[in-house]
Homo-oligomer: A and B are copies of this chain.
Amino acid sequence: MIDETHDYARTSWVECANGHGEFPIQNLPFGVFSPGQERPRGGVAIGDQILDLAKAAASALLAGEAKIAAEAAAAATLNSFLALPAAARRALRRRLSDLLAAGAAEAGEVKTWLYSARDCTMHLPASIGDYTDFYAGIHHALNVGKQFRPDNPLLPNYKHVPIGYHGRASSIRVSGAEVRRPNGQRKAPDAEAPTFGPSQRVDLELELGIWVGQGNELGQPIPIGEASDHIAGLCLLNDWSARDLQAWEYQPLGPFLAKNFLTTISPWIVTTEALAPFRIAQAARPEGDPRPMDYLWDETDQASGGFALELEVFLSTRQMREQGLPAVRISQSAASHLYWTAAQMVAHHTAGGCDLRPGDLFGTGTISTPDDRGVGSLLELTRGGAQPITLPTGETRTFLQDGDELSLAGHARAEGRVSIGFGPCSGIVRG
């Protein structure tokens, strides 16, 4: 549904939003922030400002569904907001777009709802009931499969089942949280016994996060044709991974300590409404692959279930920062390399009756390109640590060292005119 909120010619009286690479008036993502030391509440990013939804909810400028949505979003988490019908969320976004548009008569009052983002602290947008990590990046699955199972890189179920597993919700943090190198057990293939200590193979995983809006009752699957109404928006997600711990622990039930020490997300829910102009067919399923089973098949989803999103990974070492060198881009990928759509994930997750709740989070799995230009982990980029990369300082890296800062970035670009972004998703590794 493309409407006036997507009009690329629309500008805002919030001047810094015009030409802003992440938060122009066409984006308007939702998050939770604290101005100074004040209590957390819902907000919307516009340029380098944050619009206070608690103030909006208390104003006479909102009515009907938009007001109900603002009232729900004025709380310290967005769970109640996400529980609303998608139509209410959309009504609020449309109203805010109008109020923030250049020439809006209400600008004087709305200006009093704005805070400089630099004076605010961002929080998790929602209390995350459950976090599920999928494995939909097929080139990542292939690359990793080659290392862990050379004879059998892509398992027979991969092209039939949107493989996913339950992740840890408690250790998800917004961008900026420090990455403490985890302790754990590891065992070299030729060692007699495992040892315990700090992971020597801390890695990133470049993923998208998918925020669940309205949930479903236990035992009531969400048909794929209705799945998109249950998806509120996206964020960036770094599924930090300790590869040495993972290799030793992951059989037979999957990764555990290797992943649950931290997951970092970008703080804003970039709505599916803002991303509506950037929907594309999922490109990663080549001709000749099995047709998705009926419960995963929907014509609209086949035609436009994917997202045209550019994804990047930047690395900056302590030495680089001391020398004033900018971060280097170590990966340039795109969401089009996902094998399964967000709607297919929702349909699969609930197919057996499992209930989703508003504010649940999915990870897509690591998104890698078929070539080396855009692999989403150092495990892939350095061939399991065998081929170090060299940085502008002459330093080399296989996995992350203490002091390294890792940042993800994501953008949807409309013919060079408007760019919609996700905000930061970064963390510095500490020993």
Give A residues with C-beta under 8 Å from B: 129-130, 135, 145, 148-149, 155, 157, 160-161, 163-171, 173, 177-178, 180, 182-185, 187, 193-194, 196, 199, 218-219, 221, 242, 245, 248-258, 260-262, 290, 293-295, 348-349, 351-357, 360
Contact = CB atoms under 8 A, between A and B. Distances in A.
Given A194-B157, A254-B254, A129 B169 contact: yes
A307 B93 CA distance: 55
Contacts of A148: 252
Given A171-B218, A251-B155, A353 B262 contact: yes
A155 B252 contact: yes
Contacts of A219: 178, 180, 261
Given A166-B167, A166-B168, A180-B219, 12 more contacts: A148-B252, A155-B252, A157-B249, A160-B185, A163-B252, A168-B354, A170-B355, A178-B219, A183-B351, A185-B293, A219-B261, A257-B352
A363 B383 CA distance: 36
Q: Which of A149, A196, A352 has the most CB of B within 10 A?
A: A352
Q: Which of A166, A177, A248, A250 has the most CB of B within 10 A?
A: A166
Contacts of A194: 157, 160-161, 293
A256 B130 contact: no
Nearest to A198: B352
A153 B403 CA distance: 42
Contact of A352 (B187, B261, B349): B261
Give the interface SS of chain A, mostly helix, strand, loop or mixed. loop
A173 B217 CA distance: 12
Nearest to A251: B155
A133 to B, nearest CB: 8
B252 A168 contact: no
A248 B161 contact: yes
A117 to B, nearest CB: 25
Contacts of A249: 157, 161, 163
A294 B183 CA distance: 13
Contacts of A193: 160, 290
A171 B257 CA distance: 23
19 contacts: A129-B169, A135-B253, A157-B249, A163-B253, A164-B253, A164-B256, A165-B254, A166-B168, A166-B256, A168-B354, A170-B360, A182-B352, A183-B352, A218-B261, A252-B254, A253-B254, A257-B349, A257-B354, A261-B354
B130 A168 contact: yes
Contacts of A149: 252
Contacts of A293: 185, 194, 196
B251 A157 contact: yes
Q: Which of A169, A170, A193, A242 has the most CB of B within 10 A?
A: A170
